[in-house]
Each structure stands twice: as structure tokens, then as C-alpha cells.
Amino acid sequence: MDSLSEKFTKNITGAFGEAGVEWLKQLPTILTECAQRWSLTVKPHFSNLSYNYVAPVVQANGTEAILKVCVPSPEWHTEYNALCLYAGRGICRLLQADAAQGILLLESLKPGLMLASVTDDEQATSIAAQVMRRLWRPAPANHNFPTVATWSQGLDRLRETFAGGTGPFPVKLVEEAEHLFAELIPAMGEPTLLHGDLHHYNILTAERESWLAIDPKGVVGEPAYETGALLRNPFGIEKRPDLVQFTTRRIDQLATELNLERARIRGWNVAQAVLSVWWDYEDGGDSWQEGIRFAEQMAAVKE
């Protein structure tokens, strides 16, 4: 196994504590067992590891695949369950899995260029909308996926952290996000299984379909909620001098192509932008202050 970056090991130990430390110790053994069980040749891991060990592999028949090894957690199980339900429609196929050890063997998407490589934003937005339509399906009657309502409880933790206040977060911005979640959640349509993190780096070019998704979070909500992650990307968007106008055009395009209410796309975008900033702060990230400025601009988009 190749050496792991300091950032990756810190991410794992910071997020999972002693369980993460033990997982890192066992990782070489896990990889060896995967190679033996599924007759894989494991290649050097990808350079940008964050919270999962991900590496290209070659199967016995010469076909390339992706091996993803995670610290077993509720989030891992929702990804696994989402991949099972999607069954390769609009997303990479799940080839093998070990639910107990947090292991996924996934279809390798070729040529695998990210949506972020498409410089025409109208075209990129249209491609993302097409992928969304292929992915969405009614949520199972009995499921263990988190819901949009569950995710929104992050703002309750924000209030608890600051003794009912908002700390370094602008009061008006937090209050608007809270109001939007309270207004939008009860009025959601049919519960839909969403990807939950569908943006320019989780949509790749593929041979069997032009574009496919990877790395689903798996959350139940309404389709309009799905657009939030896309509207916060790609990286560097926050530096655009015309960000409000740019986002307005994107929202209009998504509303038209997906036949969704513009006001709900706009509302979810603002609410998620604030929630995303809080998650970054909660996880000890260093970009939450920039995120606040971005969220304020999202709130400036007219209803």
C-alpha cells in the first residue's frame, strides 16, 4: 500500500477517533483481503483522498474498477443502500461490496472527465439536470435514509453551540435559513431518493451513458432540494463579480429544464448554503468565513 498523506490520516482520526486509528492500522490487511477475494490488482491510490481510501484496480478479466474502502459508519451505509437502489441508472454500478467492512467495488467510468471541465455553464447545468432526472425515484416506503428534515437539524446544533445565539454567523442569515427550512419541509412533494451531493465533481463522462454520477450521499427529500449542491459549485464560483445574476440565470434554467418551482429552488439554495457553512465550521474547516459571504449573496437572489 502506498503511503498516506498527513491530511488524510488527520481527517480519519479527527472524524472517527480511536475507531479511525484502528482502521488505519487495519487498512493494509483489508486491501490485501480485497485483492485476494475478488482477484484484484490494486494500483496506487488517488492523490486527493479525503475521508475514504479510493484506488483504481484491475479485475481478473482485465477490466478496470474502483476500490473504495471506508470507515464503517451510517453515512457509508446510506451510500451503499443508494447504490443498490439506483442499480447503475444514472450512476456508476456497484460491482461488489462488504457491508461489514465498509468496502465498495465500483464501475470505473471512462474517460471519467468531471463536469467541471465543461466551460460553458449553461451546457454544464443542462447536463447536470439530465443526470438528476435519471437518478430520481420514489423513496422506498420503509427506508433508513436520512431525510432533508434530519439534515436541517444541523441549525439546531448551531443554536445549541452558541447558547441560542448565532456566534460568528450573521443573525439575519441564520434566521432566514431557519425560516426557509420550516416553510419548505412541510410542503415537500412525494418523498424522493436524492443523490444529496450532486455537483460538478461528482458527475463524470462515461461510455455507457454520456454522463454518470458517483459518490451518492443518499437522502430523502424533494427534487428541488437536489439543485443546491450544483448551485454552490464549481470551485471558485464565489469569486464571480456577477454571482447574484449568474445564480439567478442558473435557477431559471433549472426551473425550466426540471419543471420545478423557481421559488423552491431559490429557497433550498439559501437554506443549504447556510447549513453547508455550519457543517464546515462544525467539522473544523477553514473556509466557513468565505462560505458566509457566499451564502449572503445567495440570499440576495430575488425570490
44 secondary structure, DSSP code? P
Burial of 237 from C-beta contacts in 10 A (0-12 / 13-18 / 19+): middle
CB 297 within 8 A of CB 244: yes
Q: How far is CA 7 from CA 10, 23, 164, 284, in A?
A: 5, 16, 33, 13
| H or E stretch at 250 | helix 243-258
Active site residue 98: no
Catalytic residue, chosen from 2, 120, 121, 197, is 197
Long-range contacts of 28-31, Cβ-Cβ distance < 8 Å, separation of 24 or more:
28/1, 30/69, 30/101, 30/103, 31/1, 31/55, 31/67, 31/69
Active-site annotation, residues: 197
